[in-house]
Amino acid sequence: MIIFSIIAAIMVIIAFSIILPPLFRKGFIVETHTEKNDTNVIIARERLQELKADFTAGKMEQREFDLAKSEIELNLAESLAYKNNSNLEPKHNRRLVLPLMILIPVIAVAVYQMTGTPIALDPEQLKAQQEMPDAEAMVAALAERLETNPADGEGWTILGRSYVAMGRFSEAEVAFSKAHEIIGDVPSLLADYADAIGRGNNNRDLTGAAKLLIEKSLSIDPQHPKSRWLAGMLAFQEKEYEKVTEYLEPLLSQTEPGTELHEGLKGLINEARSQSGQEPVIEQVTVSVSLTVNVSLAQTLKDAAGEDDTVYVFAKASQGPPIPLAVAKLTVKDLPATVKLNDAMAMRPDLKISMYEEVLISARVSKTGNAIATSGDYQASTVSIETSTIEPISLIINQLIP
């Protein structure tokens, strides 16, 4: 951005060196008719828009675009003044110097805002925009593909969910209806279909067609989470408060305490309990496990590991699934470092450190950034500890994975 600003300033100075000197010479008269000036500005803007359209369409290169844009800017400034004819008295126009010194940069900035790329001044923002997918275009492309391949039930399901996310509920209903005709009675599809119908109704009314879909889903899988959630909402709308708690209370244990979802669900259950004369839900407070780990890199590997290489510090169950219970991500330049592995770092809500009495702690430098160990990575010896351990655990990354 600094380089851009310097170049822009130099260009402004060059423009001044071309435009201002004539104002100090006799015989240079400025047209006083503002109507003509306004017309010139309008014409310049139209030319700039046409120029931008040609550039966007790939009809010209960046250099040609920049040169043409500069020419329009200079012509616009020069159109504000012209040579005196024999019927006008020659005179100096130094009083125009200051207005032009203000006007030219303002016009340049305005033109850049219209035709340039201001976001390019912020590389991080530009990168984020470039990486951001065009959701509307992707959904439109999927809808177009399904027109030529209407038997793709999974495609219609994805399209329906996309429409729901975009708030286009009537279109989502159509997509889910077509998916249902192809796939049949699948609980997840029935629940999504019912949800789309409810969202499209006033006050998210789940009676009628949506109710039939919910009941069908629960008859197939009584424990299906989204179907139970919708059944609880439906029961609340129909003021069957005992059914609300029946459907929703089993879901409470499946959500993370303290989260917005968990607290909202608990509030709804307690409201239903209050309406039916029951006591509110009282949750048992659980203490989250936190393990402190000091990680360092062996001196012998200082030159071998790049400072931007990824470092993973993780805990796994000593007896259980291989998926990590908690993972911390660093880089080599962060070492030595102290990290805390706790339940908040769980990769799955049903697999947490606090669920095990003993875990395995280790650390690894990944040369590729991949979470899976590969040849050429460096690792520390695995340490087995009890989850009740309070003292810090020390890990030294000093082994090459062959």
105 & 163 share domain? no
User: What does the pLDDT look like over 361-373, one tens digit per residue?
Assistant: 999 999 888 878 8
Look up the CATH number of the domain holding residue 217.
1.25.40.10
Q: Is residue 249 part of a domain?
A: yes
Q: Are residues 113 and 141 in the same domain?
A: no
Please check whether residue 284 lies inside any domain of the structure: no
Same domain, 260 and 298: no
In a shared domain, residues 162 and 260: yes
How many C-beta atoms surround the C-beta of residue 297 within 10 A?
Answer: 24
What's the chain's length in residues?
402
User: Are 237 and 357 in a shared domain?
Assistant: no
- Residue where a domain stops, chosen among 129, 157, 175: 129
180 belongs to a structural domain: yes
Domain membership flag for residue 281: no
- Give every CB contact of residue 346 below 8 A, 6+ residues apart in sequence: 325, 326, 352, 353
pLDDT at 29 over 60: no
- For residue 292, the SS3 value is strand
**Phi, psi angle pair for 358, to nearest 5°:** -140, 140
33: confidence class by pLDDT, cuts 50, 70, 90: very low
Q: Supply the angle between the helices 209-220 and 225-237 in degrees, to the nearest 10.
A: 140
In this structure, the answer to whether residues 372 and 296 fall within a common structural domain is: yes
Handedness of CA 84, 85, 91, 95 (dihedral sign): negative
Residues 285 and 235: their CA atoms lie apart, in Å, by 29
> Considering the domain boundaries, does residue 18 fall inside one?
yes
Do 123 and 50 sit in the same domain of this protein? yes
Helices 225-237 and 260-275: crossing angle, nearest 10°?
40
- Which structure tokens are listed for 225? 């989470």
| Bond into 336 cis (ω within 30) | yes
**Same-domain pairing of 102 and 158:** no
Give a yes or no: residue 39 inside a domain.
yes
Residues 268 and 173 in one domain: yes
100, with CB counted inside 10 A (0-12, 13-18, 19+), is: buried
Q: Which pLDDT score is estimated for 88?
A: 40
Q: Is 280 part of any domain? A: no
161-200 tens-digit pLDDT? 999 988 899 999 999 999 999 999 999 999 999 999 999 9
Q: Which of 275, 310, 340 is the last residue before a domain boundary?
A: 275
Confidence of residue 348 (pLDDT cuts 50, 70, 90): confident
Supply 381's token pair: 């010896």
**pLDDT tens digits for range 149-159:** 999 999 999 99
Q: Does pLDDT of 48 surpass 50?
A: yes
Q: What pTM value is reported for the model?
A: 0.43
Strand pairing report for 383-386 and 358-366: antiparallel
Task: Give the model's confidence band at 262: pLDDT under 50 very low, under 70 low, under 90 confident, else very high.
Answer: confident
Q: What is the chain's mean pLDDT, rounded?
A: 77
Q: Give CA–CA dist 275/30, Å, rounded.
A: 82
Hunting for tokens 């192809």 — which residue is that? 182
Phi/psi of residue 287, nearest 5 degrees: -95, 125
Lowest mean pLDDT among 8-12, 131-135, 147-151: 131-135
CATH code for the domain of 359? 2.60.40
Per-residue model confidence (pLDDT) at position 16: 59
Domain that holds residue 16: 2-129
The alpha carbons of the chain give a radius of gyration, in whole angstroms, of: 34
89 pLDDT band, cuts 50/70/90, is very low
**Taking a C-beta distance cutoff of 8 angstroms, is the pair 362, 385 a contact?**
no
Which pLDDT score is estimated for 288?
64
- Residue, of 124 and 137, whose pLDDT is higher: 137
Q: Looking at residue 84, what is its pLDDT?
A: 38
So what's the pLDDT on residue 268? 86
- Claim to verify: residue 47 and residue 139 sit in the same structural domain: no
Of the pLDDT bands very low, low, confident and very high (cuts 50, 70, 90), residue 380 is very high
Q: Note whether 176 and 205 are same-domain residues.
A: yes
**142 assigned to some structural domain:** yes
Both 114 and 17 in one domain: the answer is yes
Phi, psi at residue 289, to the nearest 5°?
Answer: -80, 140
What is the count of structural domains for the chain?
Answer: 3
Categorize the per-residue pLDDT at 280 as very low, low, confident or very high, splitting at 50, 70 and 90.
confident
Whether the per-residue pLDDT at 34 is higher than 80: the answer is no
Q: Final residue of a domain: which of 231, 252, 275?
A: 275
